[in-house]
Structure 1
Amino acid sequence: MTIKAIAFDLDGTIVDSIPDLSNAANHARAHLGMEPLAAKIIESYVGDGADVMVARSLANDMSAVYTGTPQQQEGLAAFDAHYLEHLHVNTRFYEGVEPVLRALKQRGYPLALVTNKAERYTLPLIERLGARELFDVVVGGDTLATRKPDAGPLLHAASQFGIAPAELLMVGDSKNDALTARNAGCPVYLVPHGYADPRQFDCDRVLRDTAELLELLPVTPASAA
């Protein structure tokens, strides 16, 4: 396996955003006269974009989909207004992740951020985290016509880097990340600290921790060798 670039998921992979996401989702529920949900429940609804997360949170049902009902639209608007104002109150890098990103960047690996989080949330969040300069390519949930688990976001990132999909490593935490990589023909490693047990998903490796990437990947990427 020759790796020339690396794509990272955002929520559950490099940052823990559940405190701020759950507060925004519960703000939407309160706006509609509903009782709050436990953060752990909302955590299970994350990964398919804000619209789907809000639909699931309002219904308190993992199978709920966003169809644009008046209630869903009102809830999404309430979520959006609150979350944009509170993107970075409690959201932080997982321990040890930022140094790994910087070390990979220093080694010469091009890095992409591939997330289902909309650009209007993703870009200001990584700016506030001081991480915008780490990513050569950012693909949000609304950057393209499709989002994960469709292959499009990873194929787009590989195209931007001028490499084959098989040369782009996906690092994520979820079923969506694993499926996206398989659909695109990319290798995929999953981290152990995300929002689901990665051992249940089809991946090439479950990492001990993010720092294991520095042990597994060559000091110099193949493209620069």
Structure 2
Amino acid sequence: MKKSVLVIDDEEKISRLLQLELSHEGYAVEIAQTGKEGLEKALQHTWNIIILDVMLPEINGVEVLKQIRKVDKHTPVIMVTARNATTDKVSGLDEGANDYITKPFEIEELLARMRASMRHQLEPKATSSQEEDKPPYLQVDSLMLEPKTRSVVREGRRIELTPKEFDLLHYLMEHKNQVLQRDQMIQDVWGFDFVGDTNVVDVYIRYVRKKIDHGYKKKLIKTVRGVGYCIREEDH
């Protein structure tokens, strides 16, 4: 059976080209040209993957994704953004996008990202026994994180994080005292391969750092110039 793709894009030339190219690759492709139409189709049918443009009439792409994720946490979604629209990338990823691609793009790159996103969805999750082996909470100095309840506390004060901010902090704390490269973080936290655009990591680090370090004498998230980031209790 052919894998089904929903393309939500208001640029008729682009959506038609994608329909032809993806159909040629063996996908069953459906097109929607407004956010409202795209949302309706996304929720009415089951899709193997959704290609979603950010700039859409009626309802923008980020809001469409937000509504999809309220009822469907699993279908891979690739956001299509403008070349330098970091805010759109961050917003999309934080609402549950699996990946993003910037215009203009080559069809080969899109196909590779589609395969990676669908493959990532099929990867086996940790078994219950593996989960039981993990500690009930992670701690770095006065910062505590409980994975099961997704709660973060520092010095008795609860810290509210968005889902992706929590995932990033969780990853840092799981690898405390380790210097983590940006491309490694993109792959492990967001689940897609590094393609030379790591500014999303820097943006999220800034968000998380503001919430867990601002106002505290001891700063936990360290920048390792030219390499990446790490979280540790004291400078070495």
> What TM-score do you get using the length of structure 1 for normalisation?
0.30
Higher RCO (CA 8 Å, separation ≥ 6 residues): 1
Q: Kindly name which structure, 1 or 2, has the bigger radius of gyration based on alpha carbons.
A: 2
Length-normalised TM-score, structure 2: 0.29
Structure with the bigger percentage of strand: 2
